[in-house]
Amino acid sequence: MDTHLAVRARGVTKSFGDVVALDGIDLDVAQGRIHGLVGPNGAGKTTALGLLLGLAVADSGTLEILGSPLGRGLAAPGGVGGFVDGPGLYPSLTARQNLAAVAALRGRGARTGGVDDVLAEVGLTDVADDRVRGFSLGMRQRLGLAAALLTEPRLLLLDEPSNGLDPAGKKHVHGVLTRLAADGVAVVLSSHRMDDLEALCSDVTILATGRVVFSGPVSKLAAEDRALDYRLRTPDPQAARRIASGTAGIRVVDETGGAARTDSEVLVVRALVAALDELVAALVRAGVAVRELAPVVSPLEAAFLALTEQQEATR
């Protein structure tokens, strides 16, 4: 196995009765990277995470984690932490007691003296002695992350870690994951939040109907070869419209979900990145101020929709 890979899967399949959850997928996850696992409901994301956590066994194919091939038994591989379908917690216990129980179950592999450290790391020190039954969904997600951190994982697997997080909680979790990756930990996270994935992930794998339809750097999905709708905010939308209409490769569009009709400063244009660069240059030359230029739908979300819809159409 490549020593720089935390996960190497080749031709992995998994079925549940007549339902094919994973259909011969390949997956590489590099150490020190945050890798996003994306797909519509039923695409196979949770099944893939379950295999990596040792909660299920593949029907066929090869799967190597942290340099070692997975056996046929159900067991969490050493150096792997995380959760699927939400963290398993004891609602009648406090946050600190939950983590102490995890440390006791993990034995030597856990930071038995680090309960307070991981509570601080995920921002739950102030509620350490509160019972988990009163926690919000976001607080439970952060406590689940703290439990995973107790094992000092080299591969961290998280299923929808941003569920229920308020902006402060999301910032806290993003900071933790970024620091872990900087320290060489491989992080795999499944999420429907495209903004989270674009903010965090260096690589992404898109699944549809149990198959990989894309896997690689997020930058390769950045709309270099497909036109996207961009929201252009300017104090002179009439001049901007005139310039956009005269720029090759730019089309002014009205399918904006109402944004252009309710905001007199907003113009929506459809363009490739190269044409967009030309438009900005032309606006600057004409002295038209640009207050905002952003995709209406993120490049990752646009690619996700295009790739998954194409896969569905070929079934």
Flag whether the pTM goes above 0.85.
no
Closest CA to 158 of 200, 194, 199, 187: 187
Extract the runs of DSSP E, i.e. beta strands, from the chain: 5-16, 19-30, 34-38, 60-65, 68-69, 80-83, 155-159, 186-190, 203-208, 211-217, 228-233, 251-253, 266-271, 292-295
**CATH 3.40.50.300, domain 31-58+75-213, yes or no:** yes
Query: Mean pLDDT over residues 53-60, rounded?
Result: 90
pLDDT on residue 313:
55
pLDDT on residue 263:
63
Beta bridge partners of 7: 29, 65
pLDDT on residue 1:
46
The residues spanned by each domain of the chain are 31-58+75-213, 228-303
8 Å CB contact between 231 and 266 = yes
Closest CA to 210 of 51, 73, 74: 51
Q: Which two tokens stand for residue 114?
A: 């680090």
> pLDDT-derived band of residue 109, with 50, 70 and 90 as boundaries?
very low
The CATH number of 228-303, from 3.40.630, 1.10.287, 3.30.70, 3.10.620, is 3.30.70
Residue with tokens 């896997």, as numbered in its chain: 215
